[in-house]
Chains A and B, each alone.
Chain A
């Protein structure tokens, strides 16, 4: 074999190999040099700094979940495009005070049973049709439709009558006063009533917002261009927005670090340390939070029907560790569902249950237990799994052996709605960032009438109803919110763990980005600078 081999043809000579490699590289180089660079095409050209915002540039936003048109009117995993394509009636400022958008002014009459809205004139949809009061009537009725799966349906359903006074004045008649009407106005996008079915199938999204949808490629993302007829003069500054789906966390991070995308709200906490050390990227956090992780308790499963046992679990979990390990420190360890921006937030409530395994064991003993075995269902996604494992570890320290039940999101959701959860489960909830009554009325885990925990209490129902129909501000409102918080803490059927940070990672050259309370991206004032 050796002899034969030595007499066989020689390998391509070094010269040949080098020639081939060099030729190939040259061809590739010439080919690529002669054409546009995908990297520079993806980078947003910037306006000039110093002399105020300049028009121009396309912003690329990286998201980890695609837009779901069928959930256009609900709070879904990806709501960034809502305020780009559409407008809402009002928007909250940082102190939860409504500010004008398509509604320019409002007035409560008849003891809160009627609201008169003055609507903005000169607003037109992307297809050229003028915006009128009929569009608001449609928007409210649309959310009353259970098919839209809108979490604020109960509030929309409280509107029982409409009185049109011309094209730009409307009176909403309410069945009873509700103090979260402006949550609805912040949440409800004013879609074109003539093409709503096209919108929920993703064919055509016609709104009055600052950008028009030019293309939705399922799995890839959305392309939007500036609405030249936008009602805010001179806005938006950007020529266009690309919302690009990057499902894998590392790939999303690379997309930001390489400059391919300039904005994201989907960077996991554990990756934020890398982002912070990357020049040209900035990290900021919204006080509204991004929902919360909680430990749900099925109150019909023994011994969890005993409030003392539930409270023991609440004392036995190290929330600060979860915050640090799972969220990279971005968020808030909290025993209550309220983020710092909520009027119901109090430091006393947040720290009501701190990590005290001794107290937890003592409570368990007082309830007649030294050792418990409990199942815990969790969604088999990385963040949720990490939370469940942390809970399992902590509860083991107080004598509660937890068996994890990893479950895919669809099955977990089915259990949640069908009230078939095992003794314990961990998931996420939203809706604590606005009026506190919205959480108890619109978020199913907290619903007073029917919830996954199967918790029923006349006192809870009363306080929720009173808080919902009572005043939105003032001492009475605060007292009712405090009673909701006290009930949640005392009954511990939902044990809140940590409020996830709503973290924005953006290119340092990007300015003027904001989110509304429901994570709708507002780029009216956004611009790029050198």
Chain B
């Protein structure tokens, strides 16, 4: 395993190095720079020049790149140019919020997806089936920015039972935090829950049509036991794979939902940093994203190698 890991490590590092080059270069290719943003629309060229000098933007590009990489290697991500504060703190705060939102949404995805799937596959009541069909179709068809606004209108403005936006960290005040989390997590989860529900429904229906279920039915096993002990476990593996993929979608979708619910996560941070050309924050965020992907890839390969011994020698 260690040898396999060592063999994969150089390519992973190479990917990270290439990503760092790309992130650095792409930002410099985009017109506009942080000095102009910081100077503001009423500022003079002299003010902009002074800010450029302070930020080190007049230094040669290789020097700027090495300064950034050097900081990363020593664990010093440096200050943010435009947003303020330390880049590491900004990313840590945003990451915490986004992970919290994604995990909350994941819970909804599993709960709603299971309900949609099981009811859709096993119910014989046409009202129940119709409701599940309408709900899953609606959840898939209506984009989150519409669902979000509707949820806020109903639960925050009309009923006044949940806050319309903002965040209280779950670890700080769990009772308040969960109320702030409910609407954004539900909004983010709905499309994925609908997809999961449909997969699960198909999976259960396929399993129920298999011979071993017929045999079990003939043997007199109770219908409920048949569903929970025999049909569901067999239908789950592809759904679990799908759930993994949907987790990626949830992270991506969080960007939009964060804006609707004023949830201060990585999506909002990235948007702010890009608009203000906050080079350190954008660069570090991009590199973080690539690192996560590289690590997940590496982890997947390791798990595969563990499961299939042949892989280690290929």
Contacts and interface: CB of A to CB of B under 8 A. Distances in A.
Interface of A: 1, 4-5, 7-12, 14, 17, 31-32, 34-39, 41-42, 66-71, 74-76, 145-147, 149, 151, 153, 200-203, 216-220, 244-248, 250-251, 254-255, 257-260, 408-414, 416-419, 427-431, 442-445, 447, 450
A248 B262 CA distance: 7
B48 to A, nearest CB: 5
Given A9-B222, A429-B42, 8 more contacts: A11-B125, A74-B43, A248-B260, A251-B164, A408-B275, A409-B32, A417-B39, A417-B45
Contacts, number: 246
A250 B81 contact: no
Interface stretch (B65-73, B174-182, B192-200, B301-309): B174-182
Interface stretch (B8-16, B133-141, B155-163): B155-163
A9 B36 contact: no
B106 interface: no
A220 B166 contact: yes
B42 A151 contact: yes
A460 B311 CA distance: 78
Contacts of A408: 32, 275
The 9 A-B residue pairs whose C-beta atoms are closest, nearest first, are A35-B175, A9-B223, A410-B32, A146-B50, A219-B264, A11-B122, A69-B84, A411-B32, A202-B84
B122 A9 contact: yes
22 contacts: A11-B123, A11-B124, A11-B125, A11-B128, A12-B118, A31-B178, A36-B175, A68-B84, A70-B84, A147-B51, A151-B42, A201-B86, A219-B83, A248-B259, A254-B164, A255-B166, A260-B165, A409-B32, A410-B34, A413-B41, A414-B33, A442-B42
Contact of A7 (B82, B94, B217): B217
A442 B29 CA distance: 31
A32, A68, A75, A219, most chain B CB atoms within 10 A: A219
Contacts of A39: 156, 160-163, 179
Interface in B165-194: 165-168, 173-176, 178-180
A431 B209 contact: no
A428 B41 contact: yes
A445 B93 contact: no
Interface string B60-91: 00000000000000000001111111100110
A71 B161 contact: no
A64 B272 CA distance: 12
Instruction: Label chain B's interface by main secondary structure.
Output: helix
Given A146-B46, A411-B32, A71 B40 contact: yes
Interface in B113-158: 118-119, 122-125, 128, 149, 152-153, 156-157
Contacts of B168: 38
A456 to B, nearest CB: 15
B223 A251 contact: no
Given A35-B175, A39-B160, A410 B41 contact: no
Interface stretch (B224-232, B235-243, B289-297): B224-232
B227 A9 contact: yes
B46, B164, B205, B276, most chain A CB atoms within 10 A: B164
A253 to B, nearest CB: 9
B31 A1 contact: no
A219 B167 CA distance: 11
A218 B260 contact: no
Given A14-B125, A219-B94, A413 B37 contact: yes
A247 B261 CA distance: 9
A292 B77 CA distance: 39
Given A38-B176, A201-B84, A251 B165 contact: yes
Contact of A38 (B39, B81, B128, B179): B179
A245 B62 CA distance: 37
B99 interface: no
A86 B70 CA distance: 38
Contacts of B33: 410, 414
Nearest to A427: B41
Contacts of B80: 218
Contacts of A414: 31-33, 36
Contacts of B152: 250-251, 254, 258
A151 B160 contact: no
B254 interface: no
Nearest to A3: B214
A270 to B, nearest CB: 15
A412 B276 CA distance: 12
B133 to A, nearest CB: 14
Given A70-B38, A218-B85, A410-B32, A8 B223 contact: yes
A5 B208 contact: yes
A31 B269 CA distance: 32
A375 to B, nearest CB: 15
Contacts of A248: 259-260, 262
B41 A8 contact: no
B272 A66 contact: yes
A414 B157 CA distance: 41
B268 interface: yes
A68 B37 CA distance: 11
Nearest to B34: A410
Contacts of B261: 251
A409 B50 contact: no
A450 B162 contact: no
Given A409-B37, A413-B39, A444-B43, A11 B83 contact: no
B220 to A, nearest CB: 11
B84 A218 contact: yes
B272 A219 contact: yes
B82 to A, nearest CB: 6
A79 to B, nearest CB: 12
